[in-house]
Chain A
Amino acid sequence: MKGYRKYFGAKLIWFGVTLVAAFMLNFILPRLMPGDPVAVITQRVTQGMTSQTGVQKVYEEYANLFGTTKPMHEQFILYMGNMLKGDLGTSFSQYPRPVSDIIRSSVWWTVSLQFPAIIVGWLLGNLLGALAAYLKKGWDKVLMPVSIFVSNLPAFGSAIILLVIFGVQLSLLPTSGGYGFDLIPNFSFRFIWSVFVHYQLPFWSIVLISIGGQAIGMRSMAIYELNADYVKYARFLGIKDRKIIGYVFRNAMLPQITGLALSIGTMVGGALVAETIFSYPGLGSTIFSAVMGQDYPLISATTLIITLMVLFATFAIEILYGFIDPRIKAAQTEQ
């Protein structure tokens, strides 16, 4: 365990750096707007408002929230202080509900939908890709074009197609929401069943999308590894096929894990849009309604939470990778 310290230390430092950068971007981007950002937002929010004192009040509210009257570095300290207290401001479209409250009620829907779906899609995709590489003829001819086509469907496309087939045409599954509209969240069997049923379509549409891309990547990697010298050498030595395949897939898996860490941000982005198709009560729908309601504090907070989620997932995958990759283990024992 001691030997891993350097690897994990480096990853942890990088995690910290990206975290700080994420906060800074969230702070800076809206302030890069030309002109007075507070005036722009006020004007947008108060469209159609006639009361001059009301407009003035909104302006002051925003000026206070951003602290735009103070110099930049003080603004940043104020912003970070609020963040640490968990104070993300007050929502405008759902006034006077605090933003942190809205985020808290939607973030778990997204986490428990997207991460299992991405992992299941990744596993299935790798399995299919490896199969395609190993079986080559026949299977390969069918699987590959299908995977390529499916992976080219946008996430919302597969969401809509599944929704129309299973939700509308066959009426097997509900088409929108996270649970029945006639239910109040509680621990009854009926509620849990309703959540389970509503979970199916969003879940499988995300799985379907991640399968295709992973299968293509895994196939290329596995073909590359199957032609590597160590495989030929192992065959010469008379090592059993099954054992060789074990090595091959382990080696082909490693870049796929790195690939997952690199692409999880893109996948989450696609899945967020897919969420809005099902009006799933997660962060995707929150952004959708926040944009509709010109709710700047809510948009800012939601994007921040998404970034944190993705950074954390990437960090977790990299830690896991450290344990799996034999080269890192070897590098540690040498010391």
Chain B
Amino acid sequence: MKHILHEAFRSPKFVTGFVIFMAILALVVFYPLFVTDHPLAIIGQGTFFPPGIYVSVYDTTNAPQYTMMLPEAEGNRIGAKLGDVEREAMREWLIDFGIPRAEIDIDDTAKLMTLWDAYYDPALRFQGMTSARQKYFARLDASLEGLLVMEPRVIAVPNTETGAFEASQSIELTDFVNVNEVANVRVLPLGTDNFGRDMLTQLVSAIGTSLQIGLVAGTVATLIGLTLGLMAGYIGGLVDDVIMFFTNLFTAIPGIVLLILISYSIGQENRGAVTVAVVIGVTSWVWTTRAVRAQVISLRNRDHVNLSKLSGHSIFHIIFADILPYILSYVVMAFILQISSGILAEAGLSILGLGPKTTDVPTLGLMMRWAMIYSAHILNKWWAFFPVIVAIALISFSLNLMNTGLDQVFNPALRE
């Protein structure tokens, strides 16, 4: 055993996989120590907030203010409202209106704005212009309101007696606050999902749940597969025939069909994460059974096993002392693969709507399902689905690398 571990840690593939897996595990274990929010807590009112640092607008007005003269400030201010796309759109409208192209310089903000202010009319709709486009121009025009007016803004507070607004504070164009001094700042490295839940917190919790699902599914599948494989291989005869009949049967019938039928029969209310994991395990033991049986058959007539039989050892002693140690490597490899296929199976089931019930815990599959239902992929909200795919791929990639590494340790022919 020690020797095998030693060998395994000299395989670069195994080590790479192991390091990635441990990093993921460390994230799952340590992240909740720093962020203690409930992973399903809804913090955002609205869907798909993009990743970034969210600063409370109210608190910035109360934070200490600093004056800074930055030469690029004005350019940035205009650029944020008037990007290249907007400038192109304005030119398009002006050309349609009848201004010669040569007269429009979209790089000169002041000139462009003068032209726009002089001619733009929201009621005009040119031939071929959709009403969506017309509304777009109206919105653009509204957002440009006061763009070039560089006046301070005034914050007003209603007087409790008269109800009239009274200026309380004037915000200069050169006023700045330090983010560290604003009372409420929330960093959302992966934004929020369709319900307004913090994606990163949810993702970390989902990785944890999915790993547990994989672990339970893998354990169930390996235990069933190991028992059946040992029985089929060691006892042989009729037992072998019956077990192999069912093994072949469940190899031929696609696992997803069984998963769908059983999950649906259990019903949404009764499907917790553990139930789903057990169902996945119960439907995916065939490969382990096959591998274990093949190994046991090649072992059962070896000298040391025969010797053990002659010495009158019980069948359990023979299996545990003389057979299991020899097939342990295959069982471990099969177990590793079962974990990763269990995680994938949960994801697939959840996307179809047959995963764990949605109110309990987040899983990678459920996150994927909601992102798909809310069309995050079509709307290009990458943060709602891409990190989930990467997480699934990384988990199964690391497990498979470990498996390949072990395979090379046990099968010298495959070594480079």
Q: Check if B389 is an interface residue, CB within 8 A of chain A.
A: yes
Q: Check if B164 is an interface residue, CB within 8 A of chain A.
A: no
Q: Check if A118 is an interface residue, CB within 8 A of chain B.
A: no
Instruction: Using C-beta atoms within 8 Å of the partner chain, give the interface range for chain B.
Output: 35 or more
Partner of B252, one of A216, A227, A273, A310: A310
Q: Check if B404 is an interface residue, CB within 8 A of chain A.
A: yes
A265 to B251, CA, bound (A): 8
Partner of A314, one of B252, B267, B340, B392: B252
* In the complex, per-residue mask of A129-161: 1 if CB is within 8 Å of any chain B CB, else 0: 000000010001000000011011111110011
Give the A-B contact count at a CB cut-off of 8 A.
144
- The answer to whether A266 and B255 touch across the interface, beta carbons within 8 angstroms, is yes
A220 to B410, CA, bound (A): 13
A265 to B266, CA, bound (A): 23
Chain A: CB-nearest residue to B408? A220
A155 to B257, CA, bound (A): 17
- The answer to whether B254 and A152 touch across the interface, beta carbons within 8 angstroms, is no
Q: Check if A98 is an interface residue, CB within 8 A of chain B.
A: no
Q: Check if A272 is an interface residue, CB within 8 A of chain B.
A: yes
- The answer to whether A21 and B253 touch across the interface, beta carbons within 8 angstroms, is yes
* In the complex, per-residue mask of B304-339: 1 if CB is within 8 Å of any chain A CB, else 0: 000000000000000000000000000000000000
Interface residues in B368-406 (C-beta closer than 8 Å to A): 368, 372, 377-378, 380, 382, 385-386, 389, 392-393, 396-397, 400-401, 404
- The answer to whether A306 and B385 touch across the interface, beta carbons within 8 angstroms, is no
A157 to B348, CA, bound (A): 10
9-residue interface stretch from B61-69, B107-115, B349-357: B349-357
- The answer to whether A22 and B253 touch across the interface, beta carbons within 8 angstroms, is yes
Partner of B393, one of A152, A269, A277, A288: A152
Assuming A265-B252, A273-B351, is B393 touching A44 (CB within 8 A)? no
Min Cβ gap A145→B in Å is 9
Min Cβ gap A270→B in Å is 7
A67 to B414, CA, bound (A): 57
- The answer to whether B414 and A300 touch across the interface, beta carbons within 8 angstroms, is no
Instruction: Using C-beta atoms within 8 Å of the partner chain, give the interface range for chain A.
Output: 35 or more
Assuming A220-B414, A287-B352, A291-B354, is B254 touching A265 (CB within 8 A)? yes
Chain B: CB-nearest residue to A37? B265
Chain B: CB-nearest residue to A219? B414
A22 to B386, CA, bound (A): 37
Q: Check if B256 is an interface residue, CB within 8 A of chain A.
A: yes
Q: Enumerate chain B residues within 8 angstroms of A175, measured Cβ to Cβ.
A: 377-378
Partner of B377, one of A17, A40, A160: A160
Chain B: CB-nearest residue to A153? B393
Q: Check if B258 is an interface residue, CB within 8 A of chain A.
A: yes
Interface residues in A2-47 (C-beta closer than 8 Å to B): 14, 17-18, 21-22, 25-26, 29-30, 32-33, 37, 40, 44
- The answer to whether A148 and B397 touch across the interface, beta carbons within 8 angstroms, is yes
Q: Check if A268 is an interface residue, CB within 8 A of chain B.
A: yes
Q: Check if A100 is an interface residue, CB within 8 A of chain B.
A: no
- The answer to whether A303 and B368 touch across the interface, beta carbons within 8 angstroms, is no
- The answer to whether B256 and A269 touch across the interface, beta carbons within 8 angstroms, is yes
A164 to B414, CA, bound (A): 37
- The answer to whether A152 and B377 touch across the interface, beta carbons within 8 angstroms, is no
Residue numbers of B with Cβ under 8 A of A are 248-249, 251-258, 260-262, 264-267, 340, 344, 347-348, 351-354, 368, 372, 377-378, 380, 382, 385-386, 389, 392-393, 396-397, 400-401, 404, 413-414, 416
| 17 further contact pairs, Cβ within 8 A, besides A154-B348, A161-B389 | A18-B249, A25-B258, A33-B265, A148-B401, A154-B392, A160-B377, A163-B377, A164-B380, A216-B404, A276-B351, A277-B377, A288-B353, A291-B264, A291-B353, A299-B261, A303-B261, A306-B254
Residue numbers of A with Cβ under 8 A of B are 14, 17-18, 21-22, 25-26, 29-30, 32-33, 37, 40, 44, 136, 140, 148-149, 151-157, 160-161, 163-164, 167-169, 175-176, 216, 220, 223-224, 227, 262, 265-266, 268-270, 272-273, 276-277, 284, 287-288, 291-292, 296, 299-300, 303, 306-307, 310-311, 314
3 closest A-B pairs by CB: A269-B256, A265-B254, A291-B353
7 contacts between A and B (CB under 8 A): A29-B258, A148-B400, A160-B385, A175-B378, A224-B413, A268-B254, A310-B254
